[in-house]
Structure 1
């Protein structure tokens, strides 16, 4: 027990010095997120090539007092591993609060402006407690289990907790094609896969054009304003999707 406490204190001291140095260097990366990813050694660049997409979509939020939640800290079961992307986000958003959750105890990775919760991304009682602490979120990133069912369930619970004008991001969507994650490479329209699910929401962007009299919009019809698909990732924007048709009124032909 005493050895564990000493190890934790030593880790925190060493980590604090290292993180302060990287934060100082991060200042000279200016708005370049890829440079920060390399500096903080997150696989969002190199292992993947996500940072240019993130920079394009997140740039308007950079100097705002945003709240960002990332599902997944990284480093698997070791409490002394992971947190690289959280520190990258902290550097990129100098006025932002960074939250994260992980199935494992990652409390040693916490620091100023970074708070980590322990629990499952599909435990809705746990997620409700997280949201009660964080309040409404501006940005949500799912870099968690990547299990198809988990990704969909987390989205359905958390997207309504996102502020209007916010963005929900899903990483590593290649698992939609991997059987051991609940996906398939045989039937791209198989129900329950990541891409089948999110492709099914695309038509809702155009719900005003459905020729179905008095069509009742779903929550996603009403609040998804755009979706951006890239290699292994999806960005979903939240807002009021109430743009009217130039041809239909209440999903019926005008004067028809």
Structure 2
């Protein structure tokens, strides 16, 4: 950081020193052109404050700055400052290893490379917080969640940022013609979003389906087998452009359902001896990827 930037940051450093538990104040230390890199700091505050002094392993996918060496890594530095006892890891498809410092380790590679991520996870071990802000493509968001959520430790938190591309039209039709000569704009039209708010291929609809899984014990559907995500997600928190998912043991019993069928006392109240007598049709419930 140059002398001018240090001088600009001095008031922020004083504020962050006086209010170290305020994540927004800490994030303001690391800015570029007056823009805080950690734009969701105010959302993360209530989720991360109870964990501040713990010894955690935090993985951030996407470091920022693209090939520009003057920016990038602001969020990593924010996490390092806010979590003084934690180890911060970063992944980026652009080589950002020059940003490494004490308690910040950076891996250079593609988040969709199975061998690359397997080696990283083998080295790091279980994680406590994962912040996904890498590829904006819906397919990549979904793959990342299915692959990385299982490696979270019990009580871990998974955050998916910048999911607005769920709502952008997919490549096809006239949309493909926009930005033909601009590779950056072309990448936008390949994001796999949809104008259909119920399109199952979008990351937002993946998270919507996970909400039902919170209540799998309440499904009236004999023979239903809960998925890994049914059993290991205890809450989801939705914000504008951000979803936060908590990992835990989702095993709270239902008051009326057991093994996805009505308990005998409920059947008795209905005046029947079995679920079959109700003449219900049970739709096949599509499982989340294991």
The structure with the largest alpha-carbon Rg is 2
Same fold judged by TM-score > 0.5? yes
In structure 2, what is the equivalent of residue 149 of structure 1? Answer: 139
Shift of 1:50: 1.3
* In structure 1, C-alpha distance between the alignment counterparts of 2:201 and 2:116, rounded to whole Å: 23
TM-score when scaled to structure 1?
0.87
* In structure 1, C-alpha distance between the alignment counterparts of 2:241 and 2:28, rounded to whole Å: 20
* In structure 2, C-alpha distance between the alignment counterparts of 1:58 and 1:141, rounded to whole Å: 12
Shift of 1:29: 3.2
Q: Is the 8 A contact 2:30 2:36 kept in 1?
A: no
The residue correspondences of 1:59-78 to structure 2 (distance < 5 A) are 59-78=49-68
Regions of 4+ moved over 6 Å: 21-24
Match of 1:89 among 79, 93, 100: 79
Secondary structure in structure 1 of the residue aligned to 2:107: strand
Q: Which runs of 5+ in 2 are unaligned?
A: 170-188, 268-290
Secondary structure in structure 1 of the residue aligned to 2:204: helix
Q: Is the 8 A contact 1:79 1:104 kept in 2?
A: no
Matching of residue 119 in structure 1 with residue 109 in structure 2: yes
Matching of residue 234 in structure 1 with residue 243 in structure 2: yes
Shift of 1:236: 0.5
Secondary structure in structure 1 of the residue aligned to 2:24: helix
In structure 2, what is the equivalent of residue 101 of structure 1? Answer: 91
In structure 1, what is the equivalent of residue 44 of structure 2? Answer: 54
Q: Which runs of 5+ in 1 are unaligned?
A: 1-10
Shift of 1:216: 0.4
Matching of residue 182 in structure 1 with residue 192 in structure 2: yes
Q: Is the 8 A contact 1:205 1:241 kept in 2?
A: yes
In structure 2, what is the equivalent of residue 246 of structure 1? Answer: 255
Q: Is the 8 A contact 1:27 1:91 kept in 2?
A: no
TM-score when scaled to structure 2?
0.77
Q: Is the 8 A contact 1:124 1:157 kept in 2?
A: no
RMSD after superposition = 2.3
